[in-house]
């Protein structure tokens, strides 16, 4: 039986945007940050696995799900949102927290960890800051959105931007949350532009004290793997674990396996099973 979040609350971001958080489980705290074309509902099976050893706090990023949105967008606002959530959870749970982020959410979580001392473990699944996209990929998403074809835009995002396999794309389209994802797609181009234009500044993450674990899919495209290694190199204390036989969404296709890796790392600091 899938565990549903037990409660919901909101945190005000520094710019006043309300950020919704859904919590459940029992144990030390972990904050979950979803990726693009998602909100907290898309990771429900993963939430359920993590809620066995942890108290899980799954947020909706700005412009998604139950959260509000601000004015002019920048990825730095997302960093601030997550840091505010982490600080609120740390206050409620009277201690530091673990922080998980997937894809674009991993990038945002990484930036948040530079803004707060309340993260003691950081798990990042294929952050892509500065990753070059295949030629015409982003334009294909925008062209589909311009004619109101959210489904074509979503498929273009997965297949051409993220370079997911046909099997992964079919899996995501088969999920009951597919319709919800299509409603989110129009907000994705702003994130793609922020991601692709990113340049790591020297020393940006030097103040991150959390031990970091970066997850990389063994079947992910080389550009994604290279971006994950750049992120690891920018963090002071990091290890990389390769998920052999998986691509960009192993926490959805095999949530039990990924949750076990996260639990071991958060509990012991060990990077490998």
How large a percentage of the chain has pLDDT more than 70?
97
Cα 183 to chain centroid, rounded: 18
**What residues of the chain score a pLDDT lower than 70?**
1-5, 273
The domains of the chain, with CATH numbers, are: 7-132+198-268 (3.40.50.1820)
pLDDT tens profile 22-50: 999 999 999 999 998 889 998 999 999 99
Residue 27: the pLDDT is 96
3-state secondary structure of 123: strand
Torsion of CA 212, 201, 108, 167, to 10 degrees: -80
pLDDT at 133: 85
- At 214, is the secondary structure helix, strand, or coil? strand
Q: Can you give the pTM of this predicted structure? A: 0.92
Closest-CA residue to 217 (of 120, 128, 154): 128
Per-residue pLDDT at 213: 98
Task: Give the pLDDT score at 268.
Answer: 93
Q: Looking at residue 3, what is its pLDDT?
A: 47
Those residues with Cβ within 8 angstroms of residue 28's Cβ, 6 or more apart along the chain or in another chain: 53, 54, 55, 93, 95, 97, 98, 266
| Consecutive H or E run containing 45 | helix 44-50
Q: What is the predicted pLDDT for the residue at 5?
A: 62
Q: Residue 239 and residue 153: Cα distance in Å, rounded?
A: 34
Give the contacts of 221 (CB within 8 A, at least 6 positions apart).
Answer: 163
């Amino acid at each position: 039986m899938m565990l549903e979040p037990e409660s919901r609350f909101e945190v005000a971001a520094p710019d006043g945007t309300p950020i919704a958080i859904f919590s459940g489980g029992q144990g030390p705290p972990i904050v979950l940050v979803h990726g693009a074309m998602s909100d907290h509902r898309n990771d429900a099976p993963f939430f359920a696995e993590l809620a066995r050893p942890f108290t899980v706090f799954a947020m909706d990023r700005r412009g998604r799900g139950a959260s509000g949105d601000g004015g002019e967008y920048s990825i730095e606002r997302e960093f601030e949102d997550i840091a505010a959530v982490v600080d609120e959870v740390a206050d409620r749970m009277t201690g530091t927290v673990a922080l998980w982020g997937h894809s674009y959410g991993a990038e945002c979580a990484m930036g948040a960890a530079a803004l707060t001392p309340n993260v003691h473990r950081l798990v990042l699944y294929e952050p892509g800051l500065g990753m070059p996209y295949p030629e015409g990929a982003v334009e294909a998403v925008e062209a589909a959105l311009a004619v109101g074809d959210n489904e074509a835009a979503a498929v273009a995002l997965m297949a051409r931007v993220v370079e997911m396999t046909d099997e992964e794309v079919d899996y995501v389209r088969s999920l009951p949350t597919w319709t919800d994802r299509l409603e989110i797609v129009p907000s994705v181009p702003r994130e793609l532009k922020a991601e692709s234009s990113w340049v790591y500044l020297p020393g940006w993450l030097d103040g991150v004290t959390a031990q970091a674990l970066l997850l990389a899919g063994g079947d992910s495209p080389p550009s994604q793997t290279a971006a994950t290694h750049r992120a690891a190199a920018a963090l002071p204390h990091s290890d990389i674990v390769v998920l052999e036989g998986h691509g960009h969404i192993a926490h959805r296709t095999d949530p039990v396996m990924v949750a076990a890796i996260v639990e071991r790392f958060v509990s012991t600091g060990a990077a490998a099973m």
